[in-house]
């Protein structure tokens, strides 16, 4: 069990957030949720976050913009970010990589696959 590790999930789909949260909580992680990039930035107020999992296509602030904002934030610039999206094109992946993402996961995901990636990346 991964005690005292907090992961922020950013996705405009509430059901998808729940699916990710169930998977992570089942493995012992603490979970924070945000509905879009703007909401997520408002939640990043200094507390320790060990990993961020973010969607790409979201209202108000998309995932790539959010990722760039996170990398500008001195508190969270080294926090690993995984993009979780339906987008599977190489162009989009390259955008994510250039913005500083650590991994690009295409939905639908398998829980063991996600947990393995999280275990590998969580700080």
Residues that bind another protein (CB under 8 A): 11, 13-16, 18-19, 22-23, 26, 56-57, 85-89, 93, 96-97, 101-111, 113, 117, 120
The CB-of-20 to another protein minimum distance in angstroms stands at 9
Per-position b or e across 9-48, b if 16+ CB within 10 A of its CB: bbbbeeebbebbbebbeebebbbbbbbbbbbbbeebeeee
Closest to 29 in 3D by CA, of 45, 51, 44, 55: 51
Contacting residues for 76 by C-beta, under 8 A, at least 6 apart:
44, 49, 52, 70
Q: Whose Cβ is closer to another protein: residue 40's or residue 63's?
A: 63
Q: Whose Cβ is closer to another protein: residue 34's or residue 56's?
A: 56
The CB-of-81 to another protein minimum distance in angstroms stands at 10
Q: Whose Cβ is closer to another protein: residue 49's or residue 67's?
A: 67
The CB-of-115 to another protein minimum distance in angstroms stands at 11
């Amino acid at each position: 069990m991964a005690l005292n590790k907090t992961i922020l999930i950013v996705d405009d789909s509430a059901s998808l957030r729940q699916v990710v949260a169930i998977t992570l909580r089942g493995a012992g992680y603490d979970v924070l949720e945000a509905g879009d990039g703007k909401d997520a930035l408002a939640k990043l107020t200094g507390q320790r976050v060990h990993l961020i999992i973010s969607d790409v296509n979201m209202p108000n602030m998309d995932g790539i913009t959010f990722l760039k904002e996170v990398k500008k934030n001195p508190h969270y610039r080294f926090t690993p970010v995984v993009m979780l999206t339906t987008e599977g094109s190489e162009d989009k992946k390259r955008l994510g990589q250039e913005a500083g993402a650590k991994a690009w996961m295409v939905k639908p995901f398998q829980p063991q696959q996600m947990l393995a990636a999280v275990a590998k990346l969580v700080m």
